[in-house]
Amino acid sequence: MTSVGSTPSQTVGPYLHIGLIEETGPFAVPSGTPGAVWIRGRVFDGAGTAIDDAMVETWQADLRESDGGRAGFARSDTRQGEFALYTVVPGPVCDGAGGSQAPHLDMSVFARGLLHRLVTRVYFPEHADRHSTDPVLATVPPGRRGTLIAVREGDGYVFDVHLQGAGETVFFDV
For the segment 111-137, what is each residue's pLDDT rounded down to a tens digit? 888 888 999 999 999 999 999 999 999
pTM for the full predicted model = 0.85
User: By the 8 A CB rule, do 88 and 58 touch?
Assistant: no
Q: Are strands 151-153 and 156-158 parallel, antiparallel or unpaired?
A: antiparallel
Split at pLDDT 50, 70, 90, the class of 91 is confident
Residue 57 backbone class (left: φ over 0; alpha: ψ -120 to 50; beta: rest): beta
CA pair distance 76, 87, nearest whole angstrom: 12
- Please tell me whether residue 130 adopts helix, strand or coil conformation: helix
User: By the 8 A CB rule, do 40 and 155 touch?
Assistant: no
Q: Are strands 83-88 and 151-153 parallel, antiparallel or unpaired?
A: unpaired
User: By the 8 A CB rule, do 54 and 77 touch?
Assistant: yes
CA atoms within 13 A on the CB side of 95: 14
Split at pLDDT 50, 70, 90, the class of 1 is low
